[in-house]
Structures are given as C-alpha cells and as structure tokens.
Amino acid sequence: MLLTIDGREVEAEAGSSILDAALAAGIFIPHLCTHPDLEPIGGCGLCMVKVEGTDEPVRACMTEVQEGMAISTTDTEADRLRRLAMELILATHPADCTGCPKYGVCELQSMYQYMGVSPQRWRCKGRTVPTDDSNPLITHMFTRCIRCGRCVRACESLRGVGAIGFVRADDGSMRVAIKGKTLQEAGCRFCGACAEVCPTGSIVDTLGLFQDDRSREDNIVPCRSGCPAHIDIPRYLRYIKEGEYEKATAVVREKVPFPESLGNICTHNCQGECKRNHLQEPLSICRLKRAAAVRDTGEWKGRVRHEPLTGKSVAIVGAGPAGLTAALYLAEKGHKVHVFEADEKVGGQMRYGIPAYRLPDEIVDGEVATILEVTQKDDAEPRIEISCGERVMDVKALKNDYDAVLITSGTFRGNVLPMKGHDLENVYVNTEFLKAARKGCPQTVEGGKVVVFGGGNVAYDCARTAVRLGAASVDVCCLEAESAMTSTPEEREEAAEEGIVLHDAYSFTSINDNGEGKVGSVTIHKIERFYFDENHRAVTELVEGGELTLDADYVIFGVGQKPEDTEGYGLELTHGPYIVADANHATSEDGIFSAGDVVTGTKSVIAAIQGGREAASAIDRFLGGDGDISEVLVDVEPKNPELGKADADFYTAAVQPEMAPGEVRAHNFDHYECPFTEDEAKREASRCLQCDLRLMISRPRLWNEY
C-alpha cells in the first residue's frame, strides 16, 4: 500500500508498522526498544510521529500503516515528545560514556547524538547497581540499563528461557535482573541473545572473551573459527543431538574427507575455543564427530561435486591427509590425479605416525576407499590413481607428464639432538620407531627400560607404543613444565594410567654408554625455566643439585621431525628443508604447488586437510577452473532458535566414553576408546551452547547507516 512520509511517497506492506515502513524506505526515525526480531512494545517513546488527521502523535512502532496515510516525522509536537523521552532516559543513565565497553557502538549513544538532546533540566542521577561479573561469559552492568526490555523479550520469546526479568529496585524503579542468584540458577542457556540485543553496555560479553583481531562472527562461534577447516560444528552437533548421524557426517564431509579419522585423533583446537570452557567443560566435539561418523550411511555420496573431466592432470607427491584431500577435490573438479606414495600404503602420518591403538588401519583404508569411490562415481575409469612404493626424487620432471604438481610429502625425518651419546646403539628416533611398529617389524624395546625425550603428542605416541611393545618401563623427559607441554592433558593422563612416568622441566644432559657402545643410562637436569635469547638460542636455568640419572636400555628422540628429500627438489626452501609456498600454495617453480607439514612444519591432520583444500582450489584456478570446491552435502535447514529453560543436566561436565582400562590396553595395539553410544552422544551434544543461533539475530542499523 502507498503512504507518504514527510511528503515522500512510500510503498509499505499491509500490516507493517509505520516505523518498519519508514526504515525500509531509508527514512530514519529514532527508536530504542524496538528490535527487528522482537515484538514491539512502544516503551521508549522515541519513535513519535504525527499522522495527519489525528490529534496526538503516535508511536510509529505500534501503529499499523494504512492506505493513503500521511505521516510527519518532523512534526513539532512529535519532536518535542521524542526529545522529552530521550531526556528522561538519559537523566538516569550514567553520563560517562568513555568508560563503557559499548562506547562507539552503543545505540543509546548513537541515538542521543543524532537527536542532540541533553537531560540537564531534569533531576539527573544514575541508578547505581553493582557490576556483576560472577557469571560465566556474560557480565551485567545493570546501572546502564534503560529498561527497554529487549533482553527480557529475547530471552523469553526468542529462546523460551526467561532467565531474566524486571524487578523493583530499592528506589522503587524497575530494572532488569537475573531470576535467581546466578544465571545457572535461572536456567540460562548462555546463548548470548541478551547481550546481542542490549542497546547499551548493560549486558555484555565478559571482557576479554572476544578478541579484537577476530571478526564478530568468529568471536561469536569460536569453535568453528578455531577449526582450521572451519567445519560447521554447531550445525552437526545439533544433528547428533537429534540422532541424525548421516546428516551430521555430511556436514563434516562438506569440509573434510576424513571424519572418522579426525574423530579419533584430531587435535581439536575447536574444543580449546569452546565457550563452555568457561562453564564446566568444553564439548567433546572430536568424540562426537566420531560418534556420527561410525553411524554414517553415506547418504551424502549422491550429492558430491562431480564436474565433467577437464582433460587436465595433476601429480601429487605424498598420500597423507593433505595429498589425499587435494586429490579428492581436484578429482571432483574434473581433473585426473596421480598420487605417488613412497611408503607401501597410503595415509602418511595417519598410518605411519599415529599408532594403531588410536587410529586403526581399517579406518584410514575405509576413508581412502570412499575418496576413490565418490570421485569415480559413474565414470568408467577412476579419477584418482595411487602408486605406492614410488618415491619421487625429481619433482620437476613430473611437469613433463602432468599439468600441475602438488608436493605434500610431510615430515618423515625425525630430529636427533646433537648431545653426548646420541650416536650410541639403541638410540631411536620417533618417525622410524613409529613407522616400524606400524609396519609390523618394530625396533626392539621388549623387556628394556625406555626413555623418551620430548613432550609433544608424538613423544607420547612413542612412549605408549614402547609400552605396548613390552618395554619394562617407560619414562618421558621434556624441557617444558607440564603446564606448557604441547601434548594434550588427556594424552598424559592416559599414558600415566599405562604406567608411563613423566619427568617435566628437565634438560637433557647426556646419554651414557653402558661400556659396550650401547645405551646404559641417561642423565637429565631439573631446570628452573628456559627461554630463547635475542639470538634465538635456547637458554636453560638449571636447578642446583637437580641432576638425575635414569637407567636406560633404549632412548627414543621425540623432539620434532622435518621433511625428507626436499633438498633435491630444486625448489626454494626455508628454515632448512621446508618448502616455501605462498598464500596460494605456489612454490618457486611455476606449476608446482605444496601444502601440509612439508610447508608448515609438523602441525596436525586437520591443518594438513585444510592445506590440501586450499591447494586443490588454487591448482584448479591454475588449470583454468573457478576454484570453487564448496559442497552442500545436506540441505541447510532452519535452526530452531527456541532453547527452553535449562535443567540441571545442562550444567554437567562432559560425557566420558567407555575405554579399555590402562592395564589392559598397555599390552596390545587394539583401539582402546569406544565411540560414544547413541545415548552418550545425544547427552554430550545437548551440552552445546549453540552459540551460532546468535548470528541469526538481526543487527539494528544505526542512524548513520541510513
């Protein structure tokens, strides 16, 4: 229907309010208590307008448009009332804007600056309410509350929670308060909707929670942004909660081709970012991924991208997570892919670095088979050819037979520290030790005392493998104090259950000869701290009298690993053997790309997968494609924003899966952790705060955006 606002003809939908009609037409009318996603209440009185033919100004938010309506936003009386309303609001609001975390983005501040109003003629006195920062994630500074009620309406009507409401303060005025001593007592879901809709600095995300160098979206959904591959975690956790495991797996599959492998061994940076770290424990996102993947039926396979063959071909050196991921997406884009693998089987670190008790061969084999299956689809010929046992030394020569080359050869050369005794017999190195065990011809440790140097997950993989190979004792020594170790706390806890002893904060003095040219003992020294000086040299401060000698028959170096063979590639390298690749994964040689650990240094399977994705996209563009490897493997369904009041179960710690006890699992390489049962998975997934629902809430535009 047609109406005029300030003489301008405006088209508006029947049933809409004058305010919505004006804002949609780009005509700004001040407003505060109105929010695009909430029922209007006509509380603040800032949106007063005059409708021609009526006596008194009306609230634009509460007045429906009528055909032919003539509206004035500049009417003298309407303007007077608007200013009066703003004066009254400001009279009890703290005057010091600069000390407020919302300074510069505050809707009230923006609005009064627009209106140019001062409350000075009224009795001006703030309503003092102490700041409440006792709750996790959300801080209440109700002294800044302007009683617009947006938070209360959002909590009640958007979320169905009702954890906050109006109460009468000591001075007789109404203000918002938690309906209980704490948010938890009030059944809060910690979804953040209240903070999202608060126009002032009254309800805010606890200071320090959001990081300045991240986008708003990344701050609001930190698990998703924390994942190197940006898997849509809240989305698949919702499916798991509903028991829809195929859909959950499809969501994971949209970003990574190894859901089950990752569900076992991912370094789960997402969990470190999870907002529930501030509220009991983070979600067991990694385990939930596994719970979904083991129940996957492969429904998503029919929706995989399968573009016509381009006639182009790509050679990939190294069949680890980066190489296989790139192979998948390149094949989906229509390119023929030939993967060369130096080892006898594919998988890279997933097979030869990670022990079988964490990731059995069958899982890797199954997921690689799926890659081959979905990329071939109905084609007569497979799009991906894999040649195992072929070590490529001359990568440039591959350019003769292929249109592009991708090097994803990883880091398979273990570091040996140049300390005294490093060249004795029975000194092993992580990569070889783990690979030999995985190949079924392990390096001997049986019956012997083993000392592992290093504090990362790989060091622990070596230690726990040694336990399983029948070592009499296993001691782990590392430079870092336990709190600074890079291995996960669970890893250390489980290792301790298997009888592994940790010596943290020790420097490695020497490996001592037993008199026969073999390892006899190791000497280590307790340190106060260590740091790197201005020349990047490690400096250790020894504790006086802190020397310790451990009997040892075998020593395993678990102190990092680096690329093999790269020196002979003829490509620009950095920090020794690492390949230099730019943001598009291009190396110094045109047509040769590189990704994964060989570029970044030893990172994680998930980081390698993301590297493989990016490289595939870049290579597709290089070959003339559009580089679009995105997939929708399950329709995006509307999210249910209604959470309901939380019950006591919501505030529990993470669900723990069944696991073989330490004394049992220490004697074999069996996969010792069971996937979550359906019930466990549902309970754990139900703990998700669903932070992403907050992104559905509209952001009101400020006047300067009109």
Contacts to another protein by CB under 8 A = 41-46, 56-57, 81, 84-85, 88-89, 91-92, 121-123, 125, 147, 149, 166, 168, 172-174
Beta carbon of residue 70, minimum distance to another protein (angstroms, whole number): 21
Residue in 96, 49, 104 with CA at minimum distance from that of residue 71: 49
Residue closer to another protein by CB (options 118, 510) is: 118
Phi and psi angles of residue 368, each rounded to the nearest 5 degrees, phi first: -70, -40
Q: Are the C-beta atoms of residues 628 and 683 closer than 8 Å to each other?
A: no
CB within 8 Å of 264: residues ≥ 6 apart: 286, 290, 358, 359, 363, 671, 673
Beta carbon of residue 42, minimum distance to another protein (angstroms, whole number): 6
What b/e string do you get for 308-325 counting C-beta neighbours within 10 Å, with b at 16 or more? eebebbbbbbbbbbbbbb
Residue closer to another protein by CB (options 147, 665) is: 147
One-character DSSP codes across 403-465: SEEEE-----EE-----BTTTSBTEEEHHHHHHHHHHT-PPP-TTSEEEEE--SHHHHHHHHH
Beta carbon of residue 185, minimum distance to another protein (angstroms, whole number): 22
Beta carbon of residue 93, minimum distance to another protein (angstroms, whole number): 10
Q: What is the β-pairing status of strands 2-5 and 8-11?
A: antiparallel
Residue closer to another protein by CB (options 167, 538) is: 167
Q: Are the C-beta atoms of residues 530 and 538 closer than 8 Å to each other?
A: yes
Residue closer to another protein by CB (options 81, 646) is: 81
Beta carbon of residue 175, minimum distance to another protein (angstroms, whole number): 9
Residue closer to another protein by CB (options 80, 667) is: 80
CA distance 575 to 572: 11
Beta carbon of residue 30, minimum distance to another protein (angstroms, whole number): 12
Beta carbon of residue 62, minimum distance to another protein (angstroms, whole number): 9
Residue closer to another protein by CB (options 90, 266) is: 90
Residue 614 CB neighbour total at 10 angstroms: 23
Residue closer to another protein by CB (options 150, 224) is: 150
| Tokens (6 digits) for 670 | 């069996």
Residue closer to another protein by CB (options 147, 435) is: 147
Beta carbon of residue 202, minimum distance to another protein (angstroms, whole number): 13
Beta carbon of residue 166, minimum distance to another protein (angstroms, whole number): 6
**What string of H, E and C letters represents the secondary structure of 269-326?**
HHHHHCHHHHCCCCCCHHHHHHHHHCCCCCHHHHHCCCCCCCCCEEEEECCCHHHHHH
Q: Are the C-beta atoms of residues 477 and 522 closer than 8 Å to each other?
A: yes
CA distance 167 to 671: 56
Element (H, E) at 191: none
| Tokens (6 digits) for 703 | 């006047």
Beta carbon of residue 639, minimum distance to another protein (angstroms, whole number): 31
Residue closer to another protein by CB (options 54, 535) is: 54
| Tokens (6 digits) for 49 | 């307008």
In angstroms, the first-to-last Cα distance of the chain is 22
Beta carbon of residue 35, minimum distance to another protein (angstroms, whole number): 15
Beta carbon of residue 168, minimum distance to another protein (angstroms, whole number): 7
Residue closer to another protein by CB (options 129, 462) is: 129
Angle at 84 between CA 79 and CA 88, to 5 degrees: 150
Burial of 327 from C-beta contacts in 10 A (0-12 / 13-18 / 19+): buried
Residue closer to another protein by CB (options 121, 536) is: 121
CA distance 520 to 549: 10
Residue in 199, 213, 171, 19 with CA at minimum distance from that of residue 112: 199
Beta carbon of residue 5, minimum distance to another protein (angstroms, whole number): 21
Q: Are the C-beta atoms of residues 455 and 654 closer than 8 Å to each other?
A: no
Residue closer to another protein by CB (options 147, 585) is: 147
Residue closer to another protein by CB (options 124, 702) is: 124
Beta carbon of residue 151, minimum distance to another protein (angstroms, whole number): 12
Residue closer to another protein by CB (options 84, 654) is: 84
Residue in 480, 525, 522 with CA at minimum distance from that of residue 505: 480
Q: What is the β-pairing status of strands 449-453 and 473-477?
A: parallel
Residue closer to another protein by CB (options 119, 612) is: 119
Q: What is the β-pairing status of strands 519-532 and 506-513?
A: antiparallel
Q: Are the C-beta atoms of residues 378 and 485 closer than 8 Å to each other?
A: no
Beta carbon of residue 596, minimum distance to another protein (angstroms, whole number): 58
Residue closer to another protein by CB (options 85, 197) is: 85
Burial of 39 from C-beta contacts in 10 A (0-12 / 13-18 / 19+): exposed
Q: What's at 576, amino acid-wise? A: G
Distances (CA, A) of 192 to 74, 139, 176, 189: 37, 11, 16, 8
Residue in 320, 258, 553, 545 with CA at minimum distance from that of residue 425: 553
Beta carbon of residue 87, minimum distance to another protein (angstroms, whole number): 9
Residue in 41, 63, 43, 33 with CA at minimum distance from that of residue 51: 63
CA dihedral (628, 633, 637, 643) positive or negative: negative
Beta carbon of residue 455, minimum distance to another protein (angstroms, whole number): 57
Residue closer to another protein by CB (options 168, 391) is: 168
